[in-house]
């Protein structure tokens, strides 16, 4: 607590009042600045250990270099794409996002858009209000019996699939990660989704791979005309190609909560003249638009703030429960010195059937949640220094849930840490000594790197 008096948090956007209040109650010192320029914030950011931001500006290298005392960045929103995560990770800054806070809102919004489009609710509403009573022209389509394809099966995609329970639809999902399908959606190849889907809902982040992903070729690869919902990112869609598909009837209707033309802050549309494709969207009946409010409900306003408080609290006040969660979750590897590793590998291959690669031999298993996990068997050369300062002929490697949090904890508990944490594409690593001076490697794994 004493210590916490020194933790100063700068709030850069306004959020639900509980965020400020609860952080204050926990002993943090809150400051706010909703108006200064990025440069003005940079000039004083070295005074702060934490920042809370929505989407006001990009947290880039320049900013992070000035933020010399920063311990965490909390983004009151689903993703962290406005932050240079790699650089922040290298600086050991905790990155916090709150997709748990608005995923239900996005799931409901996507469903709302789809039902409105298929039942022509918006058109019918306008028509009646203009004094008409046209029934045949507003005949709708039913969802029952259709196949819904979801691309990107993370927080938002899963939430949408959950909302579709009870509609008697087949739900397929496509994701670049393996084994993400669940009881609400069957994971399939992109080609199968494109063959079968009557509805496509996009739930991917904006990355170099998803930038302009939904273009002419992508749309034409669908076997049937389909309804299109985008609550993910506008820049993943080539709007001009979407418009052409609407004109030809390949896309039956589009519900767009996000637009290619949005500013990066998501708070504004572009300035200046409207592109022709945008004008078409504005004037077309089977297009439903909303101003990036999928995750923007009264409930999510509160939930996002609460998730952020809980995550900051977990860093500074780990409970017994979270502490247990953050420690060892399995054996990551069996590493040992060998006089002639080539011969040994051949022997183990011939007699015990172990296949090795650069990491050794990989054993696959599933944890309680059904995730694919791996453990390595790895002979090292006799003269390796990788186990130093340990004198042992072997080194234990443990799988852990969050190596950074665990190292901080172990440090507080007086455990000797060896070297600095290191990050690779197969996970993060840290090293400690046990009381007998044996080095232990802690590994926060990314198992899919070995597949
Ligand atoms: N409209 C809104 O108000 C609103 C609110 C929250 C989130 N979002 C957006 O929703 C999207 C999803 O957010 P999330 O929290 O579910 O993210 P997430 O990281 O939990 O899930 C995204 C999933 O997409 C997958 N993916 C990444 N690249 C892919 C590709 N090329 N092809 C197929 N799958 C790919 C990932 O493996 C992951 O499973 C993001 O773009 C986010 O910004 C919008």
Atom number of ligand 1 nearest to Cα 206: 41
In order, the DSSP letters of 302-328 are HHHHHHHHHHHHHHHS--HHHHHHTSE
The pLDDT tens digits of the residues spanning 74-121 come to: 999 998 988 999 999 899 899 999 999 999 999 999 999 999 999 999
Q: pLDDT-based confidence at 2, cuts 50/70/90?
A: very low
Nearest to 386 by CA among 397, 399, 375: 397
Q: What is the mean pLDDT of the chain?
A: 92
| pTM across the whole model | 0.75
Per-residue pLDDT for 399 more than 80? yes
Return the pLDDT at 4. 47
Share of the chain above pLDDT 90, in %: 78
Atom number of ligand 1 nearest to Cα 152: 24
Nearest to 310 by CA among 155, 98, 106: 98
Return the pLDDT at 223. 98
Query: Which of the listed residues 203, 212, 229, 371 should we mutate to test ligand 1's pocket, taking the one with most ligand atoms within 8 A of CB?
Result: 203
* CATH topology (fold) of 8-97: Rossmann fold (3.40.50)
> Which residue is closest in CA terms to ligand 1's atom 7?
78
Per-residue pLDDT for 371 more than 90? no
The mean pLDDT value for 125-133 works out to 97
Judge if the upstream peptide bond of residue 389 is cis by omega within 30 degrees of 0: yes
Structure tokens at 402: 């969050």
Structure tokens at 369: 């949640």
Kindly state if the Cβ of 303 falls inside 6 Å of ligand 1: no
Backbone angles phi, psi at 392, to 5 degrees: -65, 155
Give the three-state DSSP class for 198. coil
Per-residue pLDDT for 380 more than 90? yes
Return the pLDDT at 269. 72
Between the CA of 52 and the centroid of ligand 1 the distance, in Å, is 21
Q: HSE on the CB side for 124, CA within 13 Å? A: 13
Packing angle, helices 99-118 and 121-129, rounded to 10: 60
> Which residue is closest in CA terms to ligand 1's atom 22?
154
Structure tokens at 238: 């080539």
Give the position of tokens 């990355």. 207
Atom number of ligand 1 nearest to Cα 213: 31
Kindly state if the Cβ of 379 falls inside 6 Å of ligand 1: no
Contact 57, 45 (CB under 8 A): no
Segment holding 400, helix H or strand E: strand 394-400
Query: Which of the listed residues 85, 156, 207, 293 should we mutate to test ligand 1's pocket, taking the one with most ligand atoms within 8 A of CB?
Result: 156
Domain boundaries, the chain: 8-97, 103-114+142-292, 328-450
Atom number of ligand 1 nearest to Cα 295: 3
d(Cα 406, Cα 429) in Å, to the nearest integer? Answer: 11
Segment holding 408, helix H or strand E: helix 403-412
User: Which superfamily, per CATH, for 328-450?
Assistant: 2,3-Dihydroxybiphenyl 1,2-Dioxygenase, domain 1 (3.10.180.10)
Return the pLDDT at 368. 76
Return the pLDDT at 405. 85
Kindly state if the Cβ of 180 falls inside 6 Å of ligand 1: yes
Kindly state if the Cβ of 292 falls inside 6 Å of ligand 1: yes
* Residues whose CB is less than 8 angstroms from the CB of residue 49 and which lie 6 or more positions away in sequence, other chains included: 6, 7, 8, 9, 69, 70, 71, 72
Between the CA of 149 and the centroid of ligand 1 the distance, in Å, is 14
In order, the DSSP letters of 232-292 are S-GGGB-HHHHHHHHHHTSEEEEEESS-TTB-TTSS-B-SSSPPHHHHHHHH-TTEEE-SS
Kindly state if the Cβ of 362 falls inside 6 Å of ligand 1: no
Handedness of CA 32, 37, 43, 45 (dihedral sign): positive
> Which residue is closest in CA terms to ligand 1's atom 24?
152
Between the CA of 371 and the centroid of ligand 1 the distance, in Å, is 19
Between the CA of 204 and the centroid of ligand 1 the distance, in Å, is 3
User: Between β-strands 199-202 and 287-289, what pairing exists: parallel, antiparallel or unpaired?
Assistant: unpaired
Kindly state if the Cβ of 99 falls inside 6 Å of ligand 1: yes
Between the CA of 232 and the centroid of ligand 1 the distance, in Å, is 6
Return the pLDDT at 1. 45
Return the pLDDT at 373. 93
The mean pLDDT value for 359-380 works out to 89
Structure tokens at 405: 């949090």
The pLDDT tens digits of the residues spanning 193-240 come to: 999 999 999 999 999 999 999 999 999 999 999 999 999 999 999 999
Give the position of tokens 């927080």. 155
Query: Which of the listed residues 82, 152, 213 should we mutate to test ligand 1's pocket, taking the one with most ligand atoms within 8 A of CB?
Result: 152
* Residues whose CB is less than 8 angstroms from the CB of residue 247 and which lie 6 or more positions away in sequence, other chains included: none
Per-residue pLDDT for 175 more than 70? yes
Whether 8-97 shares its CATH topology with 103-114+142-292 is answered yes
Kindly state if the Cβ of 187 falls inside 6 Å of ligand 1: no
The pLDDT tens digits of the residues spanning 293-345 come to: 999 999 999 999 999 999 999 899 877 666 555 689 899 999 999 999 889 99
Class of domain 103-114+142-292: alpha beta
The pLDDT tens digits of the residues spanning 26-75 come to: 999 999 999 999 999 999 999 999 999 998 899 999 999 999 999 999 99
């Amino acid at each position: 607590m004493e210590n916490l008096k020194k933790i100063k948090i700068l709030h850069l956007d306004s959020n639900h009042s509980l965020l400020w209040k609860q952080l204050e109650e926990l002993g943090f010192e809150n400051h706010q600045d909703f108006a200064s320029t990025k440069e003005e914030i940079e000039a004083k950011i070295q005074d702060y250990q934490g920042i809370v931001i929505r989407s006001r500006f990009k947290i880039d290298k320049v900013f992070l270099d000035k933020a010399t005392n920063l311990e965490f960045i909390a983004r009151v929103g689903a993703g962290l794409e406005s932050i240079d995560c790699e650089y922040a990770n290298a600086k050991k800054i905790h990155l916090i996002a709150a997709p748990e806070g608005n995923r239900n809102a996005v799931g409901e919004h996507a469903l709302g858009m789809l039902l409105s489009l298929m039942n022509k609710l918006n058109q019918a509403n306008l028509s009646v209000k203009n004094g008409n009573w046209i029934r045949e022209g507003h005949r709708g389509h039913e969802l029952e019996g259709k196949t819904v394809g979801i691309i990107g099966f993370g927080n938002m995609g899963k939430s949408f699939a959950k909302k579709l329970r009870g509609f008697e639809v087949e739900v397929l999902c496509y994701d670049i990660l393996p084994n993400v399908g669940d009881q609400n959606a069957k994971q399939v190849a992109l080609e199968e989704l494109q063959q079968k889907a009557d509805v496509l809902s996009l739930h991917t982040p904006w990355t170099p791979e998803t930038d302009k992903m939904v273009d002419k070729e992508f749309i034409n690869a669908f076997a049937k005309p389909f309804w299109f919902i985008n609550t993910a990112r506008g820049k993943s869609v080539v709007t001009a190609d979407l418009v052409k598909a609407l004109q030809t009837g390949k896309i039956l209707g589009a519900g767009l909560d996000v637009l290619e033309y949005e500013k990066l802050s998501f708070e504004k549309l572009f300035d200046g003249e409207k592109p022709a494709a945008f004008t078409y969207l504005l004037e077309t009946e089977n297009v439903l638009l909303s101003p990036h409010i999928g995750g923007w409900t009264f409930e999510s306003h509160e939930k996002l703030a609460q998730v952020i408080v809980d995550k900051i609290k977990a860093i500074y006040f780990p409970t017994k429960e979270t502490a247990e969660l953050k420690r060892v979750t399995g054996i990551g590897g069996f590493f040992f010195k060998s006089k002639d590793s080539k011969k040994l590998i051949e022997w183990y291959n011939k007699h015990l059937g172990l296949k090795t690669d650069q990491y050794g031999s990989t054993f696959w298993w599933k944890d309680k949640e059904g995730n694919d996990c791996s453990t390595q068997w790895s002979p090292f050369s006799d003269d390796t220094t990788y186990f130093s300062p340990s004198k042992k002929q072997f080194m234990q490697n443990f799988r852990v849930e969050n190596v950074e949090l665990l190292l901080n904890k172990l440090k507080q508990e007086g455990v000797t840490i060896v070297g600095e944490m290191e990050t690779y594409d197969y996970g993060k690593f840290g090293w400690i000594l046990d009381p007998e001076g044996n080095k232990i490697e802690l590994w926060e794994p990314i198992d899919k790197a070995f597949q």
